[in-house]
Amino acid sequence: MPAAAAPSPVDTIAVNLGERSYAVRVGRGLIERAGAEIAPLLRRPRLAVVTEETVARHQLPRLRAGLAAAGIAAESLILPAGEGTKSWAQLERTTEWLIEQKIERGDMVVALGGGVIGDLVGFAAAILRRGVRFVQIPTSLLAQVDSSVGGKTGINSPRGKNLIGAFHQPALVLADIDALDTLPARDFLAGYGEVVKYGLLGDAGFFDWLEVNGPAMAAGDRALRQEAVRRSVRMKADIVERDETEQGERALLNLGHTFGHALEAATGYGDRLLHGEGVAIGCLMAFDLSSRLGLCAQEAPERVAEHLARMGMKRRLSEIPGTLPGRDGLIELMAQDKKVQDGTMRFILARAIGDSFVTAAVPRPALAALLDEALG
């Protein structure tokens, strides 16, 4: 009989935050093993799982089987898919459902899904009974490399994205690489925008690695995907450990987001532009602006643009379908950014690939010229 293939190893990244410390587990088959992974954290063998329609179809049966295998009973709530779910209405629905399920202070809530579900369920867990524990099971690349780690939770206000929320760290994160198999190619590449961001903001060697391995990763190579998620999470964990509540360095994780959020707001937070697509375009604009200000060599934005093109990703504003507001409209949207301090916009700019910093010193004419050129 041929020997069974050895199970692929699972990586464990520790997020060291004192009594709020937790592990991020990255590997294949973690959803099937979720019961065994979560059981040591439970006071009683029952859980409440919150997910959304699309993820429920692909992943909820796997999770149910994994929990049942460890004798854990689970009730589930299935919310609508999409950014619109990060709303007061769905937060109310989720918290009331958790109360109906008699989730107690010592119980555990599971967020099974992408960034929308992770943010909403994490926030519900933060405010239910003044805080219950939760497990993140991120199923999109974006959620695995960014939103499931670091404890930012929240919903959108009709006046802006992520304006209502709390820091609430998960008790465990299970990033199952197999869950990425069912992601549409466009969603995978949007999440890849956040992966590239890590290389650009602080690890030139990682960007070199992505230039070589990005295409095979997008084509489905699971070992490369695991390595990219592991490296991204390690970088994020290091930054979050040093600056949990974003008093300084954590703002670097917003590279590309000032431009990206403005573009998302301009396109209605929908199908015209996904979050990670806005981040990728925004990263390139941040490098263009840095080069325009003489902070980095012109080759840096050229290299970023080449990599995005090779990955088949959007790079320029002209690739966003439909019309965009003009230069001043975009600047106004950028001024809504959470990084605005005392009315002054702050930007993440770069001295080179892998060397970024926060600054308020961006002269308005340089920003206007960049946007004029970008808008063509």
Q: Which residues carry out catalysis?
A: 130, 152, 194, 236, 246, 250, 254, 257, 261, 275
Do 321 and 272 touch, CB atoms closer than 8 A?
Answer: yes
Shortest spacing between CB 323 and ligand GLY, in angstroms: 29
What backbone phi and psi angles, to 5 degrees, belong to 169? -75, 140
Do 327 and 368 touch, CB atoms closer than 8 A?
Answer: yes
**Does 197 interact with ligand GLY (rule: CB under 6 A)?**
no
Torsion of CA 32, 97, 24, 60, to 10 degrees: 20
Nearer to ligand GLY, 133 or 236 (CB): 236
Nearer to ligand GLY, 66 or 202 (CB): 202
Task: Give the whole-angstrom CA distance, residue 72 versus residue 164.
Answer: 33
**Does 264 interact with ligand GLY (rule: CB under 6 A)?**
no
Nearer to ligand GLY, 249 or 302 (CB): 249
Shortest spacing between CB 251 and ligand GLY, in angstroms: 8
Task: Give the whole-angstrom CA distance, residue 137 versus residue 144.
Answer: 8
Please choose, out of 129-137, 250-258, 273-281, 332-340, the segment that lies near ligand GLY by the rule CB under 6 A: 250-258
> 95 is written with which tokens?
């918290």
> 197 is written with which tokens?
């961001």
Please tell me the number of Cα atoms within 13 Å of 193 on its side-chain side: 27
**Does 161 interact with ligand GLY (rule: CB under 6 A)?**
no
Nearer to ligand GLY, 155 or 253 (CB): 253
Nearer to ligand GLY, 62 or 339 (CB): 339
Strand partners, 173: 24, 136
Shortest spacing between CB 222 and ligand GLY, in angstroms: 25
**Does 146 interact with ligand GLY (rule: CB under 6 A)?**
yes
Please choose, out of 18-26, 39-47, 102-110, 246-254, the segment that lies near ligand GLY by the rule CB under 6 A: 246-254
- Please select the residue that binds ligand GLY; options are 66, 118, 150, 193, rule is CB under 6 A: 150
DSSP conformation class of 81: P
By C-alpha distance, which of 27, 38, 40, 164 is closest to 49?
A: 38
**Does 49 interact with ligand GLY (rule: CB under 6 A)?**
no
- Please select the residue that binds ligand GLY; options are 33, 86, 161, 250, rule is CB under 6 A: 250
**Contact residues for 101 (Cβ-Cβ < 8 A; gap 6+):** 48, 75
H or E segment and range at residue 371? helix 364-375
**Does 253 interact with ligand GLY (rule: CB under 6 A)?**
yes
> Site residues (CB under 6 A) for ligand GLY?
146, 150, 152, 250, 253-254
